[in-house]
Structures are given as structure tokens and as C-alpha cells.
Structure 1
Amino acid sequence: MARIAPLDPPYSTDVAAQLARMMPPGVEPIALFRLFARNLPMAQAMSGWGSYELSRRLSLTLREREIVIDRTCARAGCEYEWGVHISIFAGRAGLRADQVRSLTAGDADDPCWTEPRDKILIRVVDALFDSRDLDDDLWQQLGRHLDEAETLDLLLLCGWYQAISLVGRVTRLPNEPGAPTFASVDVVGPGGDDVGRDRSINGSHGQ
């Protein structure tokens, strides 16, 4: 049970309007947003930045964005937010089951990662968790693959989802109904080609 219960309908007019802005048309608001709505001025202030992070204005591609978010949430131990993103975006981002598993419990040296740019994203997220910094060598590697705008987006994206993950964990936010769990990725065998073997980790929601 969540330490701070997300709001349930019926919502006040202001809350209903804010939740509608945070979700696609016709989609019920997820628990995280209903939790934020407990502090409506905060939810309103966060909305613009959160929308930017998930928009095409972000200089990273959708796939790159989801690699960063999934790895960040997994490293932060926030199964709630990790599950939301795997459910909704993993399929759209073209992440295979073995890559989802690697983002959850592996590392950038796993054989599923062949693109240098994918590898550097994972290494940067890990360094930001392990040392809260990037050493000169990793910084130089990053500069060979991302320009300055992309680098700034990467750093802020990781930091933003660390904050989201902290809220999800501290408030003990229960997983969304039907969302995957960290344990569910263990059922995927080597190779990762048969993503459909477990519908919970192939981005089947929201497609």
C-alpha cells in the first residue's frame, strides 16, 4: 500500500484538467500522476518539463531515451516506473527482450549491445549512479558519440528519472495493473529474439 495514496475519482475540476494534460486523450491517469496531484501546484509545475522529456523536442531518439530511462529506473530500484516504461515504450523503441533484461540486470558489455552509442548511454547512467560524476575518459568517450545538446539532455533525463524513481520507491507506489516486474525478465531465454514469449515485457501496452 502506498504511503501517500494517489487520488481517486471523482476529481475536482482543477485536478481533472491537470490529469488530462498529463495523459493521452481518453487514457485513465496512472497512479504516479494521481499521486503528484495530491500537490496540484507541484504537478502543474512539473508538467511542462515532463512533457519535454517525452517529446520529439528531446534531442535523443525515442530508443535512446528509453534506454536511459529503463536503466535509470532499474538502477534506482523503482519497479513501478520501470514497469510503466517497459509496458508502454519498449516495443515502440525496438528494444528486444534480451536488451530489456540487460537494462534491468546486465551491463553495457552484454552481447545484445552492438551499437557504440547504446553502450555509452548505459555506461553514463551507471557512472552517474556509481560516482555521481563522469571521469575524464568517459567524458571524452561521450563526446565522440553525443553533441553538447544531446549530452545535456542525457544528464537531465537521467537526473529527472532518478527523482521520479525516488518518489515511487519512498511512497511505496504499487505497480500499475498488468505491468511487468523485475522478476518477469528472468523468464526470457538467451538470444532474446522471441520477445512475444512474455507479453509483459514487449511493450504490448499502449501500442
Structure 2
Amino acid sequence: MTRLTPLPPDEWDDGVRDALGPLLSAERANPRDAGNILGTLVRHRPLTRAYLEFNAYLLRDSTLSARIREVALMRAVLWRRCDYLWDHHVELAARAGLTAAEIDGIKTGALDDELDSLVLRAVDELEHDSTIADATWAALGRHLDDPQRMDLVFTIGGYHLLALAVNAFGIEAE
């Protein structure tokens, strides 16, 4: 059920483009290129700008590799049953080097790579226990330094939050 729709094109102005600035270039800050999610979020410009500054960090400046980011966030949005974000990130995961079988493995919780498996475990533990078990944290530490483990937790939480918003607002796929 759609609760919020994208802002109508005739309401897009410099304030909307400014709100999208942390994530989208000026050329892409338009109703067509922004897509339904960003087009809907700009109904609340200050919140959109603040969230997109954080989200842009997760997507572009995080210490995590694109592959680990995609494994983490896809498992997180899977837990939130957010088809919109899952579908959007399948292509991004492939660009990050994940095969179709590995993307399916995110769904089943079975990936062969040790670090990928640990990332899935961390997402699942955060989902079930609101923390990461000491053994998992230590095992992650054999692959990731402290800033990377911090980025992992914030990536998982950031995409839990975004998935909740997408679901609550009823944002429809393009």
C-alpha cells in the first residue's frame, strides 16, 4: 500500500536539489533520475539531506569494500522484507563482484567465502540479539580493522533503517 508518493515534478526546486546533493549530482537531481525512493524522501527536505549525507558515506566513503557492503546490506534488507532495496541492489552486488549464486547465498545464509559468511553471521546476530557475539567480533577482526567493523555495524543499521522507511512509506518500485 502506497502511503507516500514521489514529489510531483512541478514541485521540484532548488531546495529539493540541495536536499539530494549529498548523493546525486545536479544533473541527476530530477524526478526521473532520482527514482521513487529519493523522490519520496524529498517530501521532507532537511531529513533527506541529513540521511543522504550518512548514506553517501556508506556507499562511497566507507572503509568496507563494495562487496562486503553489498553482502551486509542485502542480508539486512532481506530481514526487513524490503523487495525494493533488494531488487535495487542485485545489480550493484553483481558490479561489486558477487555471482548470481552468491546473491542467492545471501538469501539462504550460505556463502563459501569466510569473510562473507562472517558478515552474514554479524547481520543475523544483530537482527536476533541486537549485538554481535564476541566470537563473531573476534573472527571479523581477523579480516577487518576496527574502523571497518564499525562501518559494518553502521551499514547494517543504516540499511535496516532505510528498509523500514521504504516499507512504512509504501514506496513502489520504478
Per the TM alignment, residue 25 of structure 1 is displaced from its structure 2 partner at its CA by 5.9
- Corresponding residue of 1:117: 115
Shift of 1:167: 0.3
Equivalent residues of 2:94, 2:100 under 8 A apart? no
Q: TM-score, normalization: structure 1?
A: 0.76
CA RMSD after TM alignment: 1.7
Structure 1 CA distance, aligned partners of 2:20 and 2:143?
Answer: 37
Following TM superposition, by how much is the alpha carbon of 1:91 offset from its aligned partner in structure 2, in angstroms? 2.2
Identical counterparts, % of pairs = 27
**1:70 pairs with 69, 74, 87, which one?**
74
Q: Kindly indicate whether residue 34 of structure 2 is the aligned counterpart of residue 29 of structure 1.
A: yes
**Cα offset, 1:78, TM superposition:** 0.7
1:22–1:33 Cα contact (<8 Å) kept: no
Tell me the CA shift for residue 154 of structure 1.
Answer: 0.2
Question: Is 2:153 the counterpart of 1:149?
Answer: no
Query: Residue 137 of structure 2 is aligned with which of 139, 156, 164?
Result: 139
Matches within 5 A, 1:49-68: 49-55=54-60, 57-68=61-72
| Gap regions ≥5 residues in structure 2 | none
What are the superposed Cα offsets for residues 104-155 of structure 1, whole Å, 9 maximum, x if unpaired? 2x01xx3xx3321111111101111111112222222222222111110000
CA distance in structure 2 between the aligned counterparts of 1:123 and 1:54, rounded to whole angstroms? 21
Comparing both structures, which one devotes a greater share of its residues to helix?
Answer: 2
Q: 2:25 and 2:96 mapped to 1: Cα distance?
A: 18
**Shift of residue 74, structure 1, vs aligned partner:** 0.9
State the SS of the aligned residue for 2:63. Answer: coil
Residue in 2 aligned with 1:100?
A: 103
Deviation at 1:93, TM superposition (A): 0.7
Between the aligned partners of 2:18 and 2:151, the Cα distance in structure 1 is 28
C-alpha separation in 1, matches of 2:22 and 2:54:
13
SS in 1 for 2:34: coil
2:83 counterpart of 1:79: yes
How many pairs are equivalent? 169
1:35-73 Cα offsets, whole Å, 9 max, x none, are: 111111111112211111111x31110111111111111
Distance 1:132 1:77, change over 3 A: same
